Chain A
């Protein structure tokens, strides 16, 4: 048996959360034709339907594009370091797509591997993820190719399913149950299963190809259109590379970490001027290698949730899907 909540009821609930001082984020109509995840100023801002998925990823709420690590002060030989110690407020990510939610447990591995990343984990613990099952897909979607689906529960604390006037509520964790306790009514109704896109490629084959065909001309051929921006990585739910920089002067300043992308030439540039990944072919190959071979070998799962944001955001219409479906013919 499952539970339901009326759509109006959920909106009221979101208002309550905001009133309690929680950060609530969800898909917002940024401008005509563009929906992005953003912090909600009011519960009415959220858009529930009429789009396939937001243009950005929701990872930003646990792994911000820019984050302060510490501040420093230097005087003679003395160095003083300080954290800003700011509280991380409880946050609720609402109407998240399953392909975004599934990225959280994938990211958890890397931020808890050889050391525990305090900042990431503090945000992650303060976060509750309420996913909304998909009811549409576009030609960029490929969740079913990487073992997920429009109803995938992975990484969500609560799953919502659209029933027309209500949402079916499936609370999956204690965190999720706490949010909906007493707010949802028991019901027999349950949403029909939406199948989503047909599988487009086999990740096992991708792994074999990228492992075995490292020097294949395919990588150069298939990536000629890549211009080397970071639009794919920065809107990817699972890409997590960052750069640590000091901003300030010799007396005081701050150490911050910012997103970085393997598609930038500077990403691997050595101080000597040598660049082991000298062109877009090798950079794109690295992206595939990391997602479909290195990460699975280390952590047992693919570093891709099939959201298709790489394709949607690519100025030249490229992306993982183009590259991976092409492997079959390579």
Chain B
């Protein structure tokens, strides 16, 4: 017998307790035959299926994964499946950019009455997976290292700003805020790194130049900084988008926080490759006027080059990149939106993400990091800038940002009135991939 005919695919099915699980049960009690290749894992609701579980199934040897729940409108908990649907739409795009084989990831709606549909779905998926063969590409390097470098983005428009004048204005404003007692600390840029100015006479320590790359809003989450009292923070247009999200997520009190916006014409590569906002919009004080930011087409060059590859090549690319990851978590620490008291990567009872810097541990971490920022990442590029190993982490976030734009017309941090992308849903969310 050939190897192909011996191959029995392993399929893991995550199913909702209230519908698909009963549908599968019905298939059994009505004596419908279907392949024994599926391993059913019953969960309370598709809305409760953590995306990490899908990855985990592949890691322990699944050749395909099925996620199935109640038809729209039928959720036992009213809307769990709508929330799940929205997450899947984005998650599939992330997995695609990482080079997962999407032909192995299936989504269905199967009700408690649809025993026959369960039979058909399992039969179909088993046959399709049998044709695909065992999933051997997971986390594998196949020698492919890097897509052809896209043409470098156009140099930014000539600076209209007079950095020296901006700097002067910045110092004066901050000295005033401190001496008036409006704020107790100004989080700003100094020579060689961030400074935390607490006396008006120290305002001269603030600088504004091409080294002001960091996104200082990340300090708003740190208890060491919160202890210093009411704060003013110096932001660029990109950084400011993060504040919109942080406010929406109740992480900052915009009434007490003073925001000082600096017009910026780009700080350099790769930090600013993906930025489309150079002019602060909501800051309390705005200094300078920026030139036009690069267009959508310019910023997505690296991602386009990646997406032109085959999935196996994409996975090989990421496997090569992640190989250098030592899990220093600089990407997490610099991110203003990674503010969890205890990160899922630090949880050890039980361990969800291997702490080991192995292909498995690294993919698990970077998938989690990227997806926890889905619909939230504002593209400030800090993750890429901070990575000591030069891994272009921002690409993953960019793929999610582009998905959010494509499917939901949503850009994180652009509209203060917009409801968060994840956590809400619409009855009209597209579901052509759900069978």
Contact = CB atoms under 8 A, between A and B. Distances in A.
Given A36-B324, A229-B386, A322-B192, A66 B224 contact: no
B389 interface: yes
A280 B226 CA distance: 13
Nearest to B146: A31
A259 interface: yes
B330 A229 contact: yes
Interface stretch (B297-305, B354-362, B419-427): B354-362
A54 to B, nearest CB: 11
A34 B330 contact: no
A320 to B, nearest CB: 14
A247 B223 CA distance: 33
Nearest to A266: B346
A231 B386 contact: yes
A266 B218 CA distance: 19
B232 interface: no
A36 B328 CA distance: 16
Given A34-B390, A56-B388, A224-B224, A317 B333 contact: no
Given A256-B356, A280-B224, A31 B328 contact: no
B273 to A, nearest CB: 13
Contact of B328 (A30, A230, A245, A247): A230
Contacts of B328: 229-231, 233-235, 261
Contact of B326 (A223, A259, A266, A316): A259
Contacts of A55: 388-390
Nearest to A35: B390
Contacts of A231: 328, 330, 386, 388
Contacts of B361: 66
A315 interface: yes
B351 interface: yes
Nearest to B361: A66
Contacts of B354: 247
Given A247-B351, A258-B356, A280-B224, A224 B196 contact: yes
A258 B365 CA distance: 15
Contacts of A220: 224
A65 interface: yes
A233 to B, nearest CB: 8
B325 to A, nearest CB: 9
Residue from A220, A223, A315 whose CB has the most chain B CB atoms within 10 Å: A315
A219 B3 CA distance: 64
Interface residues of A, number: 40
A258 B192 CA distance: 31
Interface in A241-260: 243, 245, 247, 256, 258-259
A318 interface: yes
A45 interface: no
A230 B327 contact: yes
A203 interface: no
Contact of A65 (B218, B224, B326, B330): B326
B194 interface: yes
B351 A227 contact: no
A36 B389 contact: yes
A235 B194 CA distance: 22
Interface string B255-283: 00000000000000000000000000000
A245 to B, nearest CB: 6
Nearest to A221: B196
B332 interface: yes
Interface in B370-402: 382, 385-386, 388-390
B214 interface: yes
Given A279-B224, A315-B334, A315-B386, A65 B193 contact: no
B225 interface: yes
Interface string A6-23: 000000000000000000
Contact of B385 (A223, A259, A266, A315): A315
A76 B332 CA distance: 41
List 5 A-B pairs, minimum CB-CB distance, nearest first.
A315-B386, A317-B193, A230-B328, A229-B333, A229-B330
